[in-house]
Structure 1
Amino acid sequence: MIEIKADTQTREQYVRNIIDTWLAATSEQEVQGRLWYINAHDLADMMTEGDVRMGAGLLAALSPQTSWPLNVELAKTAYETGNPSGHLGDALAKAAKILAGADPTEVLPMDRKTGHFYRCILDPQDADAVCIDRHAHDIAVGEEYGARDRGLGAKGRYALIAHCYREAAQRLDELPSVIQAVTWVVWRDRLVGTSTRGTAFATAA
């Protein structure tokens, strides 16, 4: 597991790893990444009949340990039936509160992955939000961790990796969420054929 208080040289290496992955993107991969949160925003808006805040909140609340297609299915079903199901208790409880009208920012951990995922979907132009899932972590550290603990539940560790994406974004004059999404597509494509992972955007932490 990486240290929370990484030294300057280590942080710089993480930033370089992110930038190198960005530079490795093909034109198609870049387009996919740039459109990812825009498309997710439109989906959140459509599936809740215009209540994009609720849609983004449901998607975020039900995202841990799920693939994107399953995430979408669970969120749609929760909205249509008014009864979240098919996930762990904590995620279902958060989704139920959001369905009942609670502000997602009062329900989700806004300094962790699901909170940032919500922000990226709600506003794809958010200049600060960056969703750090297991793949975003591995891109930064330059190594596939597999089933090993990445420690992203710790506020400091999440903040460290998020900071590195923001630094890379500043150098590249891009949004942090765009850097994350494009590099995620590159990383996913590298993994396809070398593991059992599917090709859909996964949102597992």
Structure 2
Amino acid sequence: MIQIKADTATREGYVRNIVTLFRAASAEQEARGRQWYRTAHEVADMMTDGDVRTGAGLLAALSPQTAWPLNVELAKSAYETREPTGHLGDALAKAAKILAGADPAEVLPMDRKTGHFYRCILDPTDADAVCIDRHAHDIAVGEEYGARDRGLGAKGRYALIAHCYREAAQRLGELPSVVQSVTWVVWRDRLVGTSTRGTEFNKQV
């Protein structure tokens, strides 16, 4: 795992890796990345008949270790039946609280991935939120970790990578979430080109 208290040179290296990959995006990849959270917002809106906050909360709560198509299916089913199923107990408990009327911001860990995922879906123009999943981590450090532990459950390590994305976004004149989603598309396309893995947007640590 990377050091939480990275020195200035290491942080700069992470920022450069993010900026370089963003600039490597083709027009088609950039378009896909820019649209991602706007589409997710529309999904949250449609599946809850306009209750975007609940929809975004359910999608975020049920996102860990879940490919996007299944993530949407689980969230829609939970909203329609009022009974979340198909996931681990902690995720289901969070979804149940949100369905019962709890503010997702009080249920989700807002300083880590699912909290930021929620914010990005709720408001794709959020100037601070950035979802750091395993791919976002690997993009920043410039290395595919595979099955190795990235340690993103640690608040400080998550904050470090998130800060690097915000710095990269500032240099590029973009939103942090846009930089993350565009680089995610480029990175995943490259991985798919060298493996048999699928192409769905899999938001997982």
> TM-score category by the smaller chain?
over 0.9
> Distance between the aligned counterparts of 1:38 and 1:117, measured in 2?
12
1:169 is aligned to 169
Deviation at 1:151? 0.3
Does residue 108 of structure 2 align to residue 108 of structure 1? yes
> Distance between the aligned counterparts of 1:74 and 1:34, measured in 2?
24
Equivalent residue runs for 1:83-162 within 5 Å: 83-162=83-162
Write out per-residue CA displacement over residues 49-87 of structure 1, whole angstroms, 9 at most, x where no aligned residue.
100000000000000001111100110110111110000
Deviation at 1:195? 2.6
What TM-score do you get using the length of structure 1 for normalisation?
0.99
Equivalent residue runs for 1:1-205 within 5 Å: 1-205=1-205
The runs of 5 or more residues in structure 2 that have no matched partner are none
The runs of 5 or more residues in structure 1 that have no matched partner are none
> Distance between the aligned counterparts of 2:196 and 2:13, measured in 1?
28
Write out per-residue CA displacement over residues 92-127 of structure 1, whole angstroms, 9 at most, x where no aligned residue.
000000001100000000000000000000000000
What TM-score do you get using the length of structure 2 for normalisation?
0.99
> Distance between the aligned counterparts of 1:50 and 1:91, measured in 2?
23
> Distance between the aligned counterparts of 2:197 and 2:88, measured in 1?
21
> Distance between the aligned counterparts of 1:135 and 1:196, measured in 2?
16
Deviation at 1:194? 2.0
> Distance between the aligned counterparts of 1:85 and 1:44, measured in 2?
18
> Distance between the aligned counterparts of 1:204 and 1:113, measured in 2?
8
Among all aligned residue pairs of Structure 1 and Structure 2, give the percentage whose two residues are the same amino acid. Answer: 83
